[in-house]
Amino acid sequence: MDSDNLIKVEQLSRWYGPLRAVDDISFEVRRGEVLGFLGPNGAGKSTTMQILSGNLAPSAGRVLITGKDILDEPEAAKAALGYLPEQPPLYRELTVDEYLGYCARLNRIPREQRRGAVDRAKERCGLTEVGRRLIGNLSKGYQQRTGIAQAIIHSPAVVILDEPTVGLDPIQIREIRALIRELGGEHSVILSTHILPEVQAVCDRVQIIHRGHLVFSDTIDSLTRQQTVSSLRAGFRNPPPAAELARLPGVLEVEELGAGLVRLRFDPERDITDALLGRAMEAGWRPYELTPEIKTLEQIFVDITSRDTGTPHAVAEPQAQGEAA
Amino acid sequence: MIRAIAARELRSLFFSPLAWTMLAVVQVIVAYLFLAQVDFFLQIQPRLPQMPGAPGLTEIVVAPTFGSAALILLLVVPMLTMRLISDELRNQTLSLLFSAPVSMTEIILGKYCGVLGYLLIQLLLIALLPCALLLGGSLDVGILASGLLGLLLLLAGFAAVGLFMSTLTAQPVIAAISTFGVLLLLWIIDWSGAAGSKGASVFGYLSMLRHYESLLKGVFNSTDVVYYLLLIALFIILSIRRLDSYRLQH
Instruction: Say if residue A257's pLDDT is above 80.
Output: no
CA of residue B146 relative to chain centroid, distance: 15
Give the pLDDT confidence of A53-102 residue by residue, as tens digits.
888 888 888 899 988 898 888 889 999 999 999 889 999 989 999 999 99
ipTM for the assembly: 0.86
* Domain boundaries along the sequence of chain A: 2-80+156-224+300-324, 90-147, 229-294
* Residue of A78, A91, A150 lying closest to B12 (CB–CB): A91
Residues recorded for chain A: 325
Tell me if residue B157 falls in helix, strand or coil.
helix
Averaged pLDDT for residues A131-160 = 91
Do the domain assignments include residue B63?
A: yes
Residues A51, B202: Cα–Cα separation, whole Å? 45
HSE of A280, CA atoms in CB hemisphere, 13 A = 20
Instruction: Say if residue B6's pLDDT is above 90.
Output: yes
Residues A173, A167: Cα–Cα separation, whole Å? 9
* Residue of B4, B95, B99 lying closest to A102 (CB–CB): B4
What band does A316 get if pLDDT is binned at 50, 70 and 90?
very low
Give the pLDDT confidence of A262-288 residue by residue, as tens digits.
777 777 667 777 777 787 778 777 888
Nearest to A9 by CA among A63, A61, A47: A63
Considering only CB atoms, which chain B residues are within 8 Å of A93? 12, 15-16
Same fold across A2-80+156-224+300-324 and A229-294: no
What band does A311 get if pLDDT is binned at 50, 70 and 90?
very low
Q: Which domain holds residue B187?
A: 2-245
Asked if CATH classification 3.40.1280.10 holds for the domain at A2-80+156-224+300-324, the reply, yes or no, is: no
Instruction: Report the 10 Å Cβ neighbour count for B25.
Output: 12
Residue type, A194: H
Gap from B4 CA to chain A (nearest CA, Å):
7
Mean pLDDT of chain B: 89
List the single best residue of B18, B20, B83, B99 to mutate versus A (max A Cβ within 10 A): B99
The lowest-confidence range among A75-79, A191-195, A318-322, B11-15 is A318-322
* Residue of A15, A55, A92 lying closest to B95 (CB–CB): A55
User: Which residue(s) pair with A229 in the sheet?
Assistant: A294
* For the ranges A254-258, B11-15, B163-167, the one whose mean pLDDT is highest: B163-167
Instruction: Provide the domain count of chain B.
Output: 1
Q: What is the pLDDT of residue A315?
A: 42
The lowest-confidence range among A289-303, B18-32, B53-67, B149-163 is A289-303
Instruction: Report the 10 Å Cβ neighbour count for B58.
Output: 20
Please give the radius of gyration of chain B, using alpha carbons only, rounded to the nearest integer.
20
pTM: 0.82
Q: What is the pLDDT of residue A321?
A: 36
Is the Cβ–Cβ distance between B140 and B133 less than 8 Å? no
Averaged pLDDT for residues B215-227 = 89
Is the Cβ–Cβ distance between A146 and A172 less than 8 Å? no
Instruction: Report the 10 Å Cβ neighbour count for A214.
Output: 24
Do the domain assignments include residue B239?
A: yes
Instruction: Say if residue A219's pLDDT is above 50.
Output: yes
- A229-294 has which CATH code? 3.30.70.100
Give the pLDDT confidence of B136-195 residue by residue, as tens digits.
778 888 889 999 999 999 999 999 999 999 999 999 999 999 999 999 999 888 776 556
Averaged pLDDT for residues A201-206 = 88
Number of Cβ pairs < 8 A linking chain A and chain B: 78
Strand stretches in A213-280, DSSP E: 213-219, 229-236, 251-258, 261-266
Give the pLDDT confidence of A7-66 residue by residue, as tens digits.
899 999 988 888 888 888 899 898 888 999 888 887 888 889 989 988 888 888 889 998
Phi and psi at residue A111, to the nearest 5° = -45, -45
Contact A107 B16 (CB under 8 A): no
How does DSSP classify residue A240? P
- Residues in A whose CB is inside 8 Å of some CB of B read 15-17, 50, 53-57, 59, 74-76, 78-79, 81-83, 85, 87, 89-94, 98, 102-103, 105-108, 150
Instruction: Say if residue A236's pLDDT is above 50.
Output: yes
Tell me if residue A315 falls in helix, strand or coil.
coil
Nearest to B190 by CA among B176, B209, B168: B209
Residues B36, B39: Cα–Cα separation, whole Å? 5
What band does A324 get if pLDDT is binned at 50, 70 and 90?
very low
Considering only CB atoms, which chain A residues are within 8 Å of B8? 91, 94, 102
Instruction: Say if residue A317's pLDDT is above 50.
Output: no
At CA A319, angle to CA A314 and CA A324, rounded to 5? 105
Q: What is the pLDDT of residue A226?
A: 55
Averaged pLDDT for residues B30-46 = 91
Residues A307, A299: Cα–Cα separation, whole Å? 12
Do the domain assignments include residue B250?
A: no
Residue type, A246: A
Would strands A34-38 and A205-210 be described as parallel, antiparallel, or unpaired?
A: parallel
Element (DSSP H or E) covering residue A322: helix A318-324
Nearest to A285 by CA among A251, A258, A245, A257: A245
Q: Edge-to-edge strand order for the sheet containing A68-69?
A: A19-30, A5-16, A60-65, A68-69
Nearest to B32 by CA among B74, B58, B68, B80: B68
Q: What is the pLDDT of residue B114?
A: 95
Is the Cβ–Cβ distance between A122 and A139 less than 8 Å? no
Residues B162, B84: Cα–Cα separation, whole Å? 9
